[in-house]
């Protein structure tokens, strides 16, 4: 297996965020501002904004994971030094997952510089064995490292995983062979239409070429 992956549905996202919201409420913490980490914290942040009745929702971009799927930089960075008016406020940082924990740590350190009265962190999923920090709130505790494919990055992940699969196999593959390869190498039953969408995007970006009914990576 190249990478252990798992597809997360919209229903599961909603359920995890609802659990997360309830845990925050039960803790007694009432944020006045929610800061969603871009990009993957947008939807969890918006759902928590609704569940917790917090209209003040803003975002902070943190760069750590590369756009090649399951690969990251050694250091997480904040490319845009946004100013936040959160002095004296109770603030919640929202993201999808803490897997390495580096994005959350660098975001927390940066935001503490704006002197909030309280700063807590919330994610849908926490991968305990690989994370260097533990979020204040999470919905699911994950015991084994897994790359989760969320609905908002499905095409991106399927593009990158297709490239990894074709590179590993070293031969052009049909759609049916790609679907079977996803199961063998990534432990994922990939939805056919979503994979077709990803293949079309790879062709549009000139990363993939079609040879009859087979697909191959473009060289160069």
Select from 145, 147, 159 the least CA-distant residue to 196.
Answer: 159
User: For residues 44 and 57, what is the distance between their CA atoms, to the nearest angstrom?
Assistant: 11
List of domains in the chain: 9-143 (3.40.50.2020), 150-217 (1.10.10.10)
Strand order in the sheet with 90-98: 57-61, 33-38, 90-98, 118-127, 137-142
User: For residues 139 and 182, what is the distance between their CA atoms, to the nearest angstrom?
Assistant: 27
Average pLDDT over residues 178-191: 97
Mean pLDDT of the chain: 94
Residue 194 has pLDDT above 70, yes or no: yes
User: For residues 31 and 37, what is the distance between their CA atoms, to the nearest angstrom?
Assistant: 16
160: pLDDT confidence band, cut at 50, 70 and 90?
A: very high
Residue 64 has pLDDT above 90, yes or no: no
Residue 72 has pLDDT above 80, yes or no: no
pTM for the full predicted model? 0.92
- pLDDT number for residue 74: 74
Q: What's the burial of 190, exposed, middle or buried (CB within 10 Å: 0-12/13-18/19+)?
A: buried
67: pLDDT confidence band, cut at 50, 70 and 90?
A: low
């Amino acid at each position: 297996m190249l990478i252990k992956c798992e597809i997360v549905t919209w229903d599961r996202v909603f359920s995890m965020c609802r659990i997360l919201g309830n845990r925050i409420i039960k803790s007694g913490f009432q944020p006045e501002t929610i800061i969603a980490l871009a990009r993957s914290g947008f939807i969890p942040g918006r759902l928590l904004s609704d569940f917790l009745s917090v209209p003040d929702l803003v975002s902070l971009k943190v760069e750590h994971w590369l756009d090649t799927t399951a690969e990251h930089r050694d250091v997480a960075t904040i490319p845009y030094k946004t100013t936040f008016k959160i002095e004296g406020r109770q603030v919640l940082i929202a993201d999808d997952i803490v897997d390495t924990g580096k994005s959350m740590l660098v975001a927390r350190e940066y935001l503490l510089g704006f002197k909030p009265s309280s700063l807590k962190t919330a994610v849908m999923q926490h991968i305990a064995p690989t994370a260097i920090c533990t979020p204040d709130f999470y919905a699911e505790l994950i015991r084994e490292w897994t790359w989760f494919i969320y609905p908002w990055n499905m095409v991106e992940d399927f593009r990158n995983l297709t490239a990894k699969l074709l590179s590993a196999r070293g031969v052009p593959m049909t759609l049916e062979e790609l679907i079977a390869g996803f199961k063998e190498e990534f432990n994922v039953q990939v939805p056919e239409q979503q994979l077709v969408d990803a293949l079309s995007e790879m062709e549009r970006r000139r990363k993939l070429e079609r040879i009859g009914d087979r697909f191959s990576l473009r060289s160069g």
